[in-house]
Chain A
Amino acid sequence: MKKKFVYGLCFLTMVFMLALPVFAVAAEDTIKIGVTEPLSGTFKDIGERYLDGAEYAAQVINESGGLLGKKVEVIRIDSELKPDVATRKAQSLILRDGVKFFCGGTGSSVGAAMEQLAEKQNVIMFTYGMDAASMTGVKCNKNFFRPGGSTDGRSFALAQLIAKMKYKKVAIIAQDYSFGQEALAAFKKELAKISPNTKIVAELYHPAGTKDYGPYVSQIITAKPDVIFTPNWGNDLTLLLKQGRPMGMKQKVFSYYINDEVTIQALNDDKMMIGNMGAEIYTLSIPTKKNEAFVAKFYKDKGYYPTWLRGKAYIATMFWAEAVKKAGTTDVAAVIKAWEGLSYDGPAGVWTMRACDHQAQVPYWYTEIVAKTKYFKHAFEAPRGMASAKSVEVPCAETGCKMK
C-alpha cells in the first residue's frame, strides 16, 4: 500500500515537472529566438558583437510594439564554437521551451550542424556571418536561410573592384582550408571572366594560424603584383600586414574583412592599413539615409557604433521579423513560405531572399581605409561605392542546391 503511494507520488511529480515548461510558456507569451554564438573562448569577442546586434534588433522591435503583438525574447546560446554543443543546447530549447527560431554568425561548422537540426526538428535557422558558400549550395534545405553574404559574393565583388581599378597583376593568398580555397577559386573565376588581361602572379596558401609570414611575403614581393587579394581574417590578416609591411610589401591589400575594428586595433599602426580596401554587406559608412538614421539611433541608445558584425546581425534579425510579420503567425511552414521572395529595405540597401536556395541577394559595399573618420581613434573605413546584388549573383542552377 505504502509502495503504491510512493509510486503514485513519483508519477504525479513527473507529470507536474513535464507540464511545468508548458505553464511557463503560457504564462509569458513571447516569440523566442535562440542566438548561437561563441560566448566563451578565443572567438568570444566576435560572438558577443553579433549577439549585441541581434539583441538590439529585438529591442527595436519591442519598442515599436513587438512582433504580432508579442515581445521578441532573445535566448543566448553559448555554442563554444562546437557544432555538437550548439545543437545539444538548441535541441533542448526546442523540446523543452518550444523555441522555433535560431540564428548565429560564427563558424560555418556550427551553422552546417544547426542547418541539419533545423530540418530534422522543423524549426528555422538563419545566419548572417557563416559564409561558406556550400550552406546555401549542396547542403541547403528549406529550414535554413542566409540573410547575409557568402564567399562567392565577396570574391566576385572584390574581383570586380580590382578589374574596375584596372590593376593588371594580382597576388592572392589565403588560409589553406575550405574557406580560403573557395574564396580564391571564386575570385579567380570572376576575374578570368571580366578581366582576362589581369594576371594572377602569385597564388599562395598557408596554414591557418601561421606565425612567420616572411617566406610568403618574400614570394609576393618577388612576383611584383600591383595589388594583393586575401580572404584572411583575424590574426592571419594582422600578421600578414604586421610582418609584410616592414619587408616592403607596399601594395594595397583587398580583403574580405578589412574594416574589422579589432584587427585594426591589434595592428595599432595605421599606416599599415591606410589604402586597403574591402567589400562587406554591412559597414558603418554606407552612405544612405536609412543607414545614417540607424547608426545615429544605435549610437544614441548604446553609446558606441554598430560596427559591421553588429550591423549584420541587426539587419538579418529585422529581416526575419519582417518574414514573421508577413506570415502573420509563428508557424514554421508559414514563415518559410513568407520569407521566400521577400525583400527588406534596410540600412544596407534592399535584401531579397531567393526562394531557390534561401540565399539573400544583397549588394556589397566597398570601403577603403582612410586615416581619419569620426567613428574610431584609428584609421577606419570610408565608402567607395558598391557592387549591386545583381552583379554578384550566382545563378540558381550553379549553386548546387536542390531544395526539397
Chain B
Amino acid sequence: MSDIPVFFLHGLAYAGLLFLVSSGLTLIFGMMNVLNFAHAAMYMVGAYLSYTIIMQLTGQFWMALMICPVILFIIGALVERFLLRRVHAQGHLGELLLTFGLAYIITELVKWYWGNYPLAVNVTGFLSGSITIFGFIYPIYRIFVFFSAVLVGGIMALILYKTRLGIILRASVNDSEMTNTLGVNVPLVFMGVFAFGTALSGFAGVIAGPFLSTFPGMAQEILIDAFVVIVVGGFGSLGGAVVAALLIGQLQSFGVLLIPKLSVALIYLLMAAVLIIKPSGLFGEES
C-alpha cells in the first residue's frame, strides 16, 4: 500500500483534465443557460488543430496551446452570433437541438478533413520526461495537466469575482434587461462568454492530445464525463465543477485499486446519490 500517493496523483491528473473540459461547459451553462452539446466536439477540434500545428507545421506544443484557443474563440463567437442567437427566442429546446446537430456536423467535418483514424500528438523535451516522486516514476505531463487546470480555474475565478468585467458578467446573468438599460451591450457579453467557453474547450483539447488519443470518437468519450461533472457540481457553478472534478478523479483512481469490479459504475452512483440528496448539485442554487 506504499503506492497510495501515486493513486492520489492519478486522481489529481484526471481531475485536471475533467475540469479543463467541463469548465467551458459550466461557464456557458451558468452564464447563458445553454446546455452546449457541441462542447465536446469543439474540444475535439482543438485536439485535431493541435495535431496540425504541432506535428505538421511548427513542432511546438506551446504554439498550439496559444493558437488553438484563439481559433476556437473565433469559431465560438461566430456560432453564437449567427446560429445560437437566432434560435434563442425559441427557448431551450431550440438551443439543445442546434448544438446537438452542430456536434454531428463538426464530427463529420473532422473525419472528412483529418481522416477516420487515430493521430499521434507527441510532446517533446521537458514535458515528455518523468520524475521520481515517493519512489515512483511519474510522468511530468500528468502533473502539467493538473497545474494547467489550476491555472485556468484560477484565472476564471479572478475574472469573475475580482474584476469589473466579472461584475458586468454576473450582472448580465442576474438581470439582463436592467444591465442593458445601464448601457452594457448584453448580447455582446453573451457572445464573449460563449466564445470564451469554446476557447476553453479548445485549450482542453490541446492538453488532452498527448495524454489521450486524437481520434474521431474522442468527443463522445469525454462528453459523458463532462456532463457528470457539471451535474454533480451543480449546473453552472465554477466552484462546484472544481470539487466535482476532484471527487470524480479520486473516485476513479481509488475505485480501480480498491473495488475494480465496480469502478466504472462509481461515478454514476455518485451522480445518482447527489441527484437524490440535492438535485441541484453540490454547489447548485436551489431553484
Contacts and interface: CB of A to CB of B under 8 A. Distances in A.
Contacts of A221: 3, 136
B107 to A, nearest CB: 10
Nearest to B214: A266
B10 A45 contact: no
B187 interface: no
Nearest to A265: B120
Nearest to A211: B212
Interface in B136-168: 136-139, 141-142
Nearest to B208: A211
Nearest to B130: A246
B13 A248 contact: no
Contacts of B96: none
Given A246-B141, A247-B130, A212 B116 contact: no
Contacts, number: 92
A218 B260 contact: no
A161 to B, nearest CB: 27
Given A218-B10, A262-B117, A266-B120, A246 B139 contact: yes
Interface residues of A, number: 34
Chain A binding surface SS class: helix
A216 interface: yes
A247 B17 CA distance: 18
Contacts of B7: 215, 218
B108 to A, nearest CB: 11
B6 interface: yes
B213 interface: yes
Given A246-B141, A268-B122, A211 B222 contact: yes
Nearest to B116: A44
Given A42-B216, A211-B222, A238-B213, A247 B116 contact: no
Nearest to B258: A215
Contact of B122 (A41, A205, A269): A269
Interface stretch (B22-30, B56-64, B173-181, B249-257): B249-257
Interface in B94-130: 116-120, 122, 128-130
A207 interface: yes
Nearest to B211: A243
A218 B1 CA distance: 11
A248 B137 contact: yes
Interface in A179-219: 204-207, 209, 211-212, 214-216, 218-219
B119 to A, nearest CB: 7
Nearest to A176: B264
B43 interface: no
User: Chain B CB within 10 Å — which of A41, A215, A222 has the most?
Assistant: A215
A68 interface: no
Contacts of A45: 116-117
A192 to B, nearest CB: 22
Interface string A214-253: 1110110110000000000011001100110011100000
Interface of B: 3, 6-7, 9-10, 13-14, 17, 116-120, 122, 128-130, 136-139, 141-142, 211-213, 215-217, 221-222, 225, 252-254, 256-257, 260, 264
Given A214-B9, A214-B142, A269-B122, 18 more contacts: A42-B116, A44-B116, A45-B116, A204-B260, A205-B260, A211-B14, A211-B212, A211-B222, A212-B10, A215-B257, A221-B136, A235-B213, A238-B213, A243-B139, A243-B211, A247-B130, A247-B136, A266-B215
The 10 closest A-B pairs by CB, nearest first: A268-B120, A248-B137, A214-B10, A246-B139, A215-B256, A266-B118, A45-B117, A212-B14, A215-B253, A207-B264
